[in-house]
A and B are shown apart, each in its own frame.
Chain A
Amino acid sequence: MQQEPGPRTDGRTGADSPERSFRIHGSSTPPPGSGPGAFLRSDSDDSRRKAKRSLFSHRSARNVQRGLFYIAVVLLCLVPLFVFFWMISSGLKTQADNIAIPPKIFFEPTFANFQDVIAGRNFFAYGVNSFIVAFGAVAISLFLGLPAAYSIAKYRLRKIGLTLLISRMVPFVSYLIPWFIAFRTLRLVDTYIALITTHLIITLPYVIWIMINFFENVPTSLEESARIDGASFPQAFIYVILPVVRNGAFTASVLAFIFSWNQFLFSLILSGRNTMTVPVAVFQFITYDQINWGGLGAAATLITLPPLVLTLFIQKYIIRGLTQGAVKE
Chain B
Amino acid sequence: MVNTREKYLLPLPALIVMFLIVAFPIGYNLVLSLFRYDLAGVSAVQFIGLDNYVHISQAPRFWNSLAVTAVFTGGALVGQTVIGTALALFFSREFKGKSLVKAIFLFPIAATPVAVSLIWAMMWNFDFGIINYVIRALGGHPQMWLASPSQVIPALVITDIWQWTPLIMLIVLASLESLPREPFESATVDGASAFQILTRITLPLIRPTIIVAAMIRSIDAIKTFDLIYVMTQGGPGFASENLNIYTFNVGFNYFRMGRGATLAVVLFTIVLVFNLVLAIIRDAGRTDIQG
Q: Do A and B interact?
A: yes
Query: How long is the Cα–Cα vector from A181 to B252 in the complex, in angstroms?
Result: 11
The answer to whether B244 has its CB under 8 Å from any CB of chain A is: yes
The reply to whether A164 and B114 contact each other, CB–CB distance below 8 Å, is no
Q: How far is the CB of B77 from chain A (nearest CB, A)?
A: 15
9-residue interface stretch from B48-56, B144-152, B256-264:
B256-264
Contact with B along A84-108 (1 / 0, CB 8 A): 1011001000000011011100000
Nearest neighbor of A36 in chain B, beta-carbon distance: B94
* Range, interface on chain B: 35 or more
For chain A, the count of residues having a C-beta within 8 Å of the partner chain is 114
Could you say which residues of chain B place their CB within 8 Å of the CB of A12?
177, 179, 181
The answer to whether A56 has its CB under 8 Å from any CB of chain B is: no
The answer to whether A40 has its CB under 8 Å from any CB of chain B is: no
Most chain B CB inside 10 Å of its own CB: which residue of A147, A297, A324:
A147
Interface of A: prevailing SS: helix
Could you say which residues of chain A place their CB within 8 Å of the CB of B104?
77, 80-81
The answer to whether B43 has its CB under 8 Å from any CB of chain A is: no
The reply to whether A83 and B116 contact each other, CB–CB distance below 8 Å, is yes
Could you say which residues of chain A place their CB within 8 Å of the CB of B29?
174, 177-178
Partner among B127, B229, B272 whose Cβ is within 8 Å of the Cβ of A169: B272
Q: How far is the CB of A314 from chain B (nearest CB, A)?
A: 10
The reply to whether A16 and B14 contact each other, CB–CB distance below 8 Å, is no
Could you say which residues of chain A place their CB within 8 Å of the CB of B128?
98-99, 101, 103, 293
Could you say which residues of chain A place their CB within 8 Å of the CB of B68?
none
The reply to whether B251 and A319 contact each other, CB–CB distance below 8 Å, is no
The reply to whether A145 and B93 contact each other, CB–CB distance below 8 Å, is no
The answer to whether B120 has its CB under 8 Å from any CB of chain A is: yes
The reply to whether B178 and A327 contact each other, CB–CB distance below 8 Å, is yes
The reply to whether A286 and B22 contact each other, CB–CB distance below 8 Å, is no
Interface of B: prevailing SS: helix
The reply to whether A14 and B119 contact each other, CB–CB distance below 8 Å, is no
Q: Which of B115-168 contact A (CB under 8 A)?
A: 115-116, 118-120, 122-123, 127-128, 130, 133, 137, 162, 166-167
Q: Which of A39-78 contact B (CB under 8 A)?
A: 69-70, 72-73, 76-77
Name 20 extra pairs, CB < 8 A, besides A17-B188, A204-B14, A322-B171: A5-B178, A18-B193, A76-B87, A80-B162, A84-B111, A148-B12, A148-B14, A171-B267, A173-B251, A174-B264, A177-B251, A178-B261, A264-B113, A265-B248, A279-B226, A297-B119, A300-B112, A303-B114, A311-B110, A318-B110
Chain A interface residues (CB < 8 Å from chain B): 3-5, 7-8, 11-21, 33-36, 69-70, 72-73, 76-77, 79-81, 83-84, 86-87, 90, 98-99, 101-103, 144-145, 147-148, 150-152, 154-155, 157, 160, 164, 166-182, 197-198, 200-201, 204-205, 208, 224, 227, 233, 258, 261-262, 264-265, 269, 278-279, 282-283, 286, 293, 296-297, 299-301, 303-304, 307-308, 310-312, 315-316, 318-320, 322-327, 329
Q: Could you give 16 example pairs across A and B, Cβ below 8 Å? A: A14-B89, A18-B188, A20-B188, A35-B95, A69-B95, A102-B133, A144-B17, A148-B12, A170-B268, A177-B29, A177-B32, A177-B261, A182-B28, A262-B111, A282-B114, A300-B114
Please name the 6 residue pairs, one residue from A and one from B, whose CB atoms are nearest each other, closest first: A16-B93, A148-B14, A151-B10, A300-B115, A148-B11, A178-B28
Chain B interface residues (CB < 8 Å from chain A): 1-2, 6-8, 10-15, 17-18, 21-22, 24-26, 28-29, 32, 37, 87, 89-99, 101-116, 118-120, 122-123, 127-128, 130, 133, 137, 162, 166-167, 170-171, 174-179, 181, 184-185, 187-188, 192-194, 197-198, 201-202, 205-206, 208-209, 212-213, 216, 219, 222-223, 225-226, 229-230, 244, 247-248, 251-252, 257, 260-261, 264-265, 267-268, 271-272, 275
